[in-house]
Structure 1
Amino acid sequence: MTSWLLGTSILLIHLLGIVSAIMALMSSRTSQGAVAWIISLLTFPYVALPAYWFFGRPRFYGYVSARGQRDTILRRVLVRYRDNVLPHVASSSNADIQAVEQLAMMPLTHGNRAALLINGQATFDSLFDGIERAEHYILMQFFIVRNDALGQRLQGYLQRAARRGVRVYFLYDEVGSRKLGEGYLNDLIGEGIEVSAFRSSRGFKHRFQLNFRNHRKVTVVDGKEGWIGGFNVGVEYLGEHKRHGAWRDTHLKLEGPSVLGLQEAFWEDWHWATGEVINLNWLADTSPTTDHHVVIVPSGPADRQDTASLLVQQVIHSAKQRLWVTSPYFVPDQGVQDALRLAAMRGVDVRVMIPERPDHLLVFLSAFSFLPDMIRAGVKIYRYLPAFLHQKIILIDNDAATVGTVNLDNRSFRLNFEITAFIPSQDFAASVGVMLENDFAQCRRVTIDEINQRPMWMKVVSRAAYLMAPVQ
């Protein structure tokens, strides 16, 4: 009886491995990912099966369903909001901008002010000042929130806002903020603040969706001011952590109609997490001082297309003179790698800035597998020396730039909810260019000899790490 039960269990596991391998074949977003899962599921299903069901699902199906519900529950609000924005929509005959609008499913707006916030002190000073100005509501979401000195300062600002009658909605990712602690959250709730985890595995049928994360960092005050960029909440982002040391990052403050794009992304996330439809201001204000054009591009695993990857490929293909990219985690998919190489081959000054000191070993090792081909094609790779580099910036010629949360890796392209501001305005691009020139001056350029001289064991390990990139 025992041997019969054991044999039946083994047979069932292998049958489930075959079924799951077929599912991986039909649904994986990359051929590399499909091959990795199929081989694992067929040869060693005992380990691969639970890994696939927890980490291998290609779409965030619950969120897709919620979007379908939104079409009936929230459509009237959304239509009214879009009607309010129509006077601020900037028509453009530029096909590159039109492609970004289609990817974003949001319009290009004018009458915005986009201001760079360089490093942590400037970012949190601006953010806390904005919280102090709030009169009606604050929308805030971060991937990581820590209960340390900076997290407690943020908590204090939010509590004081709630005490003066401001509605506060606080959304966090349960994976990124897993160490936050109930005490911190209860202290917020005790002041009347609405708090929710993103809850990627909400409900019985979505319980395996643990690999999807909300990596967005968005704050909106009264529908008039917004913040987006690379910063999470923790003292390491101020350069005050012993392990990480100095920290180089960039955030963005927005004013104008584009803030409603940030607000819509938060509104949709909050609806998924809580089922609530919150009442917000959907009347667009214009900036009295500048006129930046902006498209807000939300992306994530509930999209019908790989929005983040396609956005990056689009801006690369549009570059004519220069394309400068910064990313802390640089393991782009084949489409982005090919686009970067082709841009360099057609004479574009393609520069990629990555950290000198890694904080993710697998990603760090993976890069050595494809960097030689990129360098041979003319792509210039730089490593930033003074601090850990965490900013996510793309500069396109002298005409446009992006600032957001997207890293150039499979997780950001296909597994995370992300958000990017695409800003096709020359004066904003000029300010990004000045900032990046200063950063590149503090980098060392990676040479092909440096990579080729690695010992054989490191080449093997790097290749193995790269093969794992699609399933990270």
Structure 2
Amino acid sequence: MRTGRRLLISLTVAALYISGILFAIEAALKVRTEQGAIAWAVSLVTMPLVAVPAYLVLGRSKFEGVSDAFESRRDEFERLLGHIEKNLKPWEIPPSEGPSWHAAMVRLSNMPLTRGNHADLLINGNATFDSILRGVASAEEYILFQFYMIHDDGLGQRVKAALIDRARAGVRVYVLYDEIGSSGLPSRYVNDMRSAGIEVSSFKPTQGSRNQFQLNFRNHRKMVVVDGETAWVGGHNVGDEYLGLDPEFSPWRDTHVRLQGPVVIQLQMAILGDWYWATRQLPEVNWTPRPSEEHDKKAMIFPFAPTGQFETASLFFVAALNGAKERIWLSAPYFVPDAAVMKALQLAALRGVDVRIITTGKPDSLPVYMAAFHYMEELAGLDIRFYAYQPGFLHEKVMLIDDNVSTVGTPNFDNRSFRLNFEVTSVILDREFAREMEDMFERDFEHSKSLFPESFATRSLWWRGAVKLARLAAPVL
């Protein structure tokens, strides 16, 4: 018996060492960054007992299986994409009429910059969900409702009741949530919706035989489309804390945007791509753009996903920052940028751009919060102004470039959003909307405390050590 047990242990250890070597080769070939590839390869060869399980869960930065899922219906999807492109063509803006990064953005996102759009800035939870629930109540054909996180609380019950009401009125309703982000959602909540005729699914990163260990990926998107006419996207999830009802984080600071016009078709494409991955079904929806009659804002949707050749989120931010001539104001709860984005911020500051960055002063994740101070200190001496929002938890993900480019979406300013999450942002080119964004930023500056990275070196040894340790974990934060 003992001999057999020793043999089993020996074979298991040998298998782990062999797996470590094989995974080290894979890491060297596939991990996106040179530093990451070296770190994984060394640890997999020298410490396979710990590194192999960790690599299976955390090591992969490309989400597998999406192309295979769409391949089985490739002809159908190509015809649909051709139809959508034809419908959007009259509203498409050529690169010569867009900003300097226009051509690159279109190629990366596979979405054109369009005219004929309208955008309403929605500041904080009450404005956002009042708008969304009014839109849901007005739906006549279908509702596409996707959030990273849905809670079974007061707001969650209001949302469920509104969706069930429209489903019973004959409106087709589709609800998608992230399996990990909404892990606490009880089955009765889902069953109530299904009983009313709502189609509900979760986005499972581990779905499919090739994806069993893809636990590190999240679908962090928050999107709603009603009848192909109106859409919403931004930072809010469905939960009472997003209305400022959680005493620990209240008041909650967040931002969404309501969109109308051809850009709605683009957001609809992003939702239905996720829905197809989750269900292998493609609902019938309206693909005819309905331009705003009273407004003519330029806008596009930029979906980010860890599925392709390029790190689209990081490249998006680099291109936008490099295109700035006068101003870069950005706000996000976490500030853990990658090397390329850091260089873009340094260059912007060196050429005299007014760079201001707001992060939360009330953290919900201490490691991410502490890691941010390392990157702030790296940017010291460049006249970049940092702020910590004081009243409550700041969760918005917005950016203002110069006096006409605004973004409102879901990506945080960190490695997870840049490389591991499915994210989406709206890009709005309009001076009037930019002035609304400017006013919003100015109010947030007034409620924030200035941070001075030059003074970080004088802080306690414990504090500086915690910052350095948190920074080491930045690739998986």
**TM-score, L = length of structure 1:** 0.97
Deviation at residue 70 of structure 1 after TM alignment: 4.8
1:442 — aligned with what?
A: 447
Match of 2:235 in 1: 230
User: Is contact 1:32-1:470 (8 Å) kept?
Assistant: no
Distance 2:16 2:79 in 1: 48
Select the residue among 266, 284, 289 that pairs with 2:289: 284
Match of 1:274 in 2: 279
Q: Deviations over 1:72-111 (max 9, x none)?
A: 2322122112211111112241432222222211011101
Q: In the alignment, what sits opposite 1:370?
A: 375
> Does 1:397 find its partner at 2:408?
no
Question: How far apart are the structure 1 equivalents of 2:16 and 2:104?
Answer: 45
Q: Name the structure 1 match of 2:358.
A: 353
* CA displacement 1:223-246 (0-9 Å, x = unmatched): 000000000000000010122221
Contact 2:335/2:375 (CA < 8 Å) preserved in 1?
no
Name the SS of the counterpart of 2:191 in structure 1: helix
Q: Is the 1:56–1:471 contact (alpha carbons within 8 Å) kept by the matching residues of 2?
A: no
Q: Which amino acid aligns with 2:25?
A: I
Looking at structure 2, the residues matched to 158 and 55 of structure 1 have their Cα atoms a distance apart, in angstroms, of 36
From 49, 72, 75, the counterpart of 2:75: 72
Letter in 2 for 1:52: Y
Aligned-pair CA distance for 1:441: 1.4
The AA in structure 1 aligned to 2:51 is A
Per-residue CA deviations over 1:402-454 (Å, capped at 9, x if unaligned) read: 11001111110111000011112111111111111111111111113441122
Of 19, 38, 43, which aligns to 2:41?
38
Aligned 8 A contact 1:215 1:417 in 2: yes
Where structure 1 has 5 or more consecutive residues not aligned to the other structure, the ranges are none
| In structure 1, distance between residues paired with 2:308 and 2:436 | 32
1:48 equivalent in structure 2? 51
Cα distance change, pair 464–70 in 1 and its aligned pair in 2 (3 A): farther
**Partner of residue 60, structure 1:** 63
Other-structure match for 1:218:
223
Query: Comparing 179-188 with 438-447, which one deviates more in the overlay?
Result: 438-447
| Correspondent of 2:26 among 7, 23, 27 | 23
1:10 and 2:20 are equivalent in the alignment: no
Mark the runs of 5 or more structure 2 residues left unpaired by the alignment: none
**Equivalent in the alignment of 1:155:** 160
Contact (CA 8 Å) 1:218, 1:266: kept in 2 or not?
Answer: yes
Cα distance in 1 for partners of 2:28, 2:367 equals 25
In structure 2, the partner of 1:240 is 245
| CA deviation map 1:348-388 (0-9, x unaligned) | 00011000111111111111222112122222111111111
Task: Tell me if 1:183 matches 2:185.
Answer: no
Q: Which residue of 1 aligns with 2:465?
A: 460
Residue 256 of structure 1 aligns with an amino acid whose one-letter code is: G
Give the aligned partner of residue 413 of structure 2: 408
Query: In structure 2, what residue type is equivalent to 1:185?
Result: V
Q: After the TM superposition, which of the residue ranges 44-53 and 229-238 deviates more from structure 2?
A: 44-53
Give the secondary-structure state (helix, strand or coil) at the position aligned to 2:102: helix
Partner residue of 2:144?
A: 139
The CA deviation string for residues 319-366 of structure 1, in whole angstroms up to 9 with x for no partner, is 011100111111010000111011011100001100011111111111
What secondary structure sits across from 2:310 in the alignment? coil
Please identify, of 225-234 and 364-373, the stretch whose mean Cα deviation from structure 2 is larger.
364-373
Contact residue 380 and residue 454 of structure 2 kept, 8 A: no
Of residues 109-118 and 35-44 in structure 1, the stretch that sits farther from structure 2 once superposed is 35-44
Segment of structure 1 superposing worse, 89-98 or 148-157: 89-98
Task: Return the letter of the residue paired with 1:79.
Answer: G
Question: Alpha-carbon deviation of 1:461?
Answer: 2.5
Equivalent-residue separation in structure 2 for 1:67 and 1:340 (angstroms): 37
Greater Cα shift, 117-126 or 22-31? 22-31
Q: Residues 30 and 470 of structure 1 are in contact (CA less than 8 Å); yes or no, is this contact kept in structure 2? A: no
* Whole-angstrom distance in 2 between the partners of 1:131 and 1:61: 34
Deviates more, 1:162-171 or 1:40-49: 40-49
Change (3 A) 1:461 1:45: farther
* Structure 2 residue matching 1:243: 3-state secondary structure: coil
List aligned pairs for 1:425-436, cutoff 5 A: 425-436=430-441
Taking a change above 3 Å as real, the CA distance of residues 458 and 21 of structure 1, as seen in their structure-2 partners, is farther
Within the alignment, does 1:207 sit opposite 2:212 as a pair? yes
Give me the CA root mean square deviation: 1.4
Greater shift, 164-173 or 356-365, is seen at 356-365
The two structures have a TM-score, normalised by structure 2, of: 0.96
Q: More displaced, 7-16 or 377-386?
A: 7-16
> Aligned AA for 1:264?
M
Q: Is the 8 A contact 2:415 2:475 kept in 1?
A: yes
Q: Name which of structure 1's ranges 83-92 and 36-45 shifts more when overlaid on structure 2.
A: 36-45
Match of 1:107 in 2: 112
CA contact (8 A) 2:223 2:232 kept: yes
**More displaced, 36-45 or 427-436?**
36-45
Q: Quick one: which amino acid aligns to residue 295 of structure 2?
A: T
**What is the one-letter code of the residue matched to 1:285?**
R
In the TM superposition, residue 63 of structure 1 has moved relative to its aligned partner by 1.3
Q: Percent identity?
A: 44
- Provide runs of 4+ in structure 1 moved above 4 Å: none
Letter in 1 for 2:404: D
